[in-house]
Structure 1
């Protein structure tokens, strides 16, 4: 009898290994198809079968999966976006071709384009910020004037807050437009810029699977005008009315976008008019989200997603209710990372579930003002919000690092003083 295999399109720095491990626990043989398998260290470390190929070429992927079917019983196909969310639409097309469970690729594609997504949400009566689409500097400036400052200026296609900025005046609008259109931002298609109203208020994300809301997370960003996550808390501390309103709007998003299958997360701002949808992403978020949900509710998002992918019965019932929080470590200057330490002591703090560093000493630190600025995280969990926050504070305070700033023009490298930074113990700065 042929061995059951799970095909994984590309990989993921944060959650790729979780999918590998969950697949193996379910008795599946994971196989990764990637344009560059060497990008994902865990494949070699874990001895995972990986095949190099053009993951942008649907026909080539169909041929490769057909070849694999001669050896394996392909139980399901899923994948990861990285910086290109079109991977999810490709997965949907593969599932359709091989008659496997999967999302509607057309629904995924209309989500990946933020302008198209806005149109469907508006037609569905979902509360969203005012928005305009622009292709050049004049259109961006005109759109900002029509909407009214401040505005958010960002690429219409992208993820991880790459290229996203709050612009509070005309000069900032012009500056960021020049950045996006002047060759510094990498476009995967012809440049299209979304200009939208700044929805001011607390940030939340709802996590869904199928047509079910699993839970809602609270998030804090670092200093504006950029949007770099600093702190997550799951579940968010909401009133019953707030929870219901966010859950109801989440389900409205799924209906408007045709996302009745698979995982999604919906980002909100709680404004003066209640929950306003910032965007809908048809995937499980990377980073700390699966760990937070498992610690908070006892639900293994990755395992349950794989069960859905292979057509087995899945279970999202809460096993318990704890408060889980993650704090991200974010440097406040560029330079060479001399050292980073204290992570082992932090991991030994009672109640700390995970400490992870993404960088090693001597790594150049060049902040990009998006998710790539984070150099590590700490996760803690307990039965109460105050206790979890106290555990997190104690652990984060134990971690410190030193960065030697890059020399300025005309400055000798040896004269640059080291910059020592210990993460803030309070709210994200």
Structure 2
């Protein structure tokens, strides 16, 4: 009898990749990763995992590799990760369709991938969203800003990880970031270059984690200081009144319907504004680390394993086993430079209630902040039966972790004679 395998398209450098590998193995599956650059995922080498080099932007090449694998293995399912872009997820849907495997609707994924199209579909369905305009040049951005009113958020119409997203409070800041986005400084992953100009929806930030058509959990989240949007903290469950929870669930499920989603995991970011819950973004995938770990600690629901069950056509469960509070603090450097040393992770991990301490960087690593999720250097996760206790445990652990960064030497401009 042929061995059952789970095909993973691309991986995750700091997120869920290893979790999916472990979930597959726990279900008796052999994980095989297909990637444009397998060496970029450290855990593949560390764990001695099988990987195949293939252009994951080329659907025909992927079909060819999977067809070859089918001659040896029983392909139980295919899934993937938004790396280097969300388009991988649409490719996963097309692969699943080709081989008759359970999977997401690629058209729905592509509609979400384009933030402007996503906004249009949500607006047409009456889902509350910020005011928005699409811009292709500096003149468009200027007009859109005048129509919406400062402050505004400028972001690429296609992208992920908060890359290129900036809050602009003045006309000068709008012009500066427009130049950055259109002038070649930003690493665009699609063409043509299009900018989304949005109203800055102000209010507490929440995230809804969904599997199928069921909201599994809602977290309270927080960003670091503006003008960038780099996550700093997550807490499950969010401290919400019953009526607030119900309104967020209603808006989240309306978003699924508007976008043709409802198969597999979805992650929705919302703000609670004067209008109530407003949808900031819908991601047709499982949120990255640390959300899956937090959901598992808070509710006893292993979203990664249940997603793999769904992918291979098995019955999955969202039954909650307990009710704890789980929180994570993201570790972000406060300056650019060379990392000299780190200290305290092992002491922090030894504190009762600390579930995980992770540092991505090693001494002598150059630190260059980009104002997006690539700035993360690690995280700490804690859980307990109460919010106050979890927050106290988390703070105690974070206080034990330290590092030193030596600023890069200042370039001295030579004098001309």
> In structure 1, what is the equivalent of residue 164 of structure 2?
163
> In structure 1, what is the equivalent of residue 131 of structure 2?
130
Q: Distance in 2 between matches of 1:258 and 1:234?
A: 27
Equivalent residues in 2 for 1:398-409, closer than 5 Å:
398-409=400-411
> In structure 2, what is the equivalent of residue 287 of structure 1?
289
Normalised by the length of structure 1, the TM-score is 0.95
SS at match of 1:268: strand
SS at match of 2:56: coil
> In structure 1, what is the equivalent of residue 394 of structure 2?
392
> In structure 1, what is the equivalent of residue 105 of structure 2?
104
Normalised by the length of structure 2, the TM-score is 0.98
Q: Distance in 2 between matches of 1:394 and 1:213?
A: 31
> In structure 2, what is the equivalent of residue 426 of structure 1?
none
**CA deviation map 1:78-129 (0-9, x unaligned):** 0001230000000000000111001110000000000000011011110000
| CA displacement at 1:266 relative to structure 2 | 0.5
> In structure 2, what is the equivalent of residue 204 of structure 1?
206
> In structure 1, what is the equivalent of residue 146 of structure 2?
145
SS at match of 1:225: coil
Q: Distance in 1 between matches of 2:83 and 2:152?
A: 27
Q: Distance in 1 between matches of 2:184 and 2:104?
A: 35
Equivalent residues in 2 for 1:2-401, closer than 5 Å:
2-13=2-13, 14-189=15-190, 190-401=192-403
| CA displacement at 1:407 relative to structure 2 | 2.1
Q: Distance in 2 between matches of 1:44 and 1:226?
A: 33
Q: Distance in 2 between matches of 1:42 and 1:228?
A: 24
| CA displacement at 1:322 relative to structure 2 | 0.4
**CA deviation map 1:382-413 (0-9, x unaligned):** 000000000011110001111111122339xx
Contact 1:83–1:159 (CA<8 Å) still a contact in 2?
no
**CA deviation map 1:275-306 (0-9, x unaligned):** 00001000011120110000000000000000
Q: Distance in 2 between matches of 1:366 and 1:121?
A: 36
Structure 1 unaligned regions, length at least 5: 412-429
Q: Could you list the structure 1 runs, at least 4 aligned residues long, displaced by more than 6 angstroms after superposition.
A: none
Worse-matched range after superposition: 357-366 or 399-408: 399-408
Q: Distance in 1 between matches of 2:60 and 2:84?
A: 22
Contact 1:83–1:158 (CA<8 Å) still a contact in 2?
no
Contact 1:83–1:160 (CA<8 Å) still a contact in 2?
no
| CA displacement at 1:10 relative to structure 2 | 0.5
Q: Distance in 2 between matches of 1:205 and 1:295?
A: 16
SS at match of 1:67: helix
SS at match of 1:19: helix
Q: Distance in 1 between matches of 2:195 and 2:289?
A: 26
Number of residue-to-residue matches in the alignment: 411
> In structure 2, what is the equivalent of residue 414 of structure 1?
none
**CA deviation map 1:24-78 (0-9, x unaligned):** 1101111110011101111122221110001000011111111111001111000
SS at match of 2:202: coil
| CA displacement at 1:187 relative to structure 2 | 1.1
Q: Distance in 1 between matches of 2:330 and 2:252?
A: 26
Q: Distance in 2 between matches of 1:63 and 1:50?
A: 15
**CA deviation map 1:194-226 (0-9, x unaligned):** 001000000000010111110101101100111
Contact 1:266–1:277 (CA<8 Å) still a contact in 2?
yes
Structure 2 unaligned regions, length at least 5: none
SS at match of 2:317: coil
Q: Distance in 2 between matches of 1:361 and 1:391?
A: 27
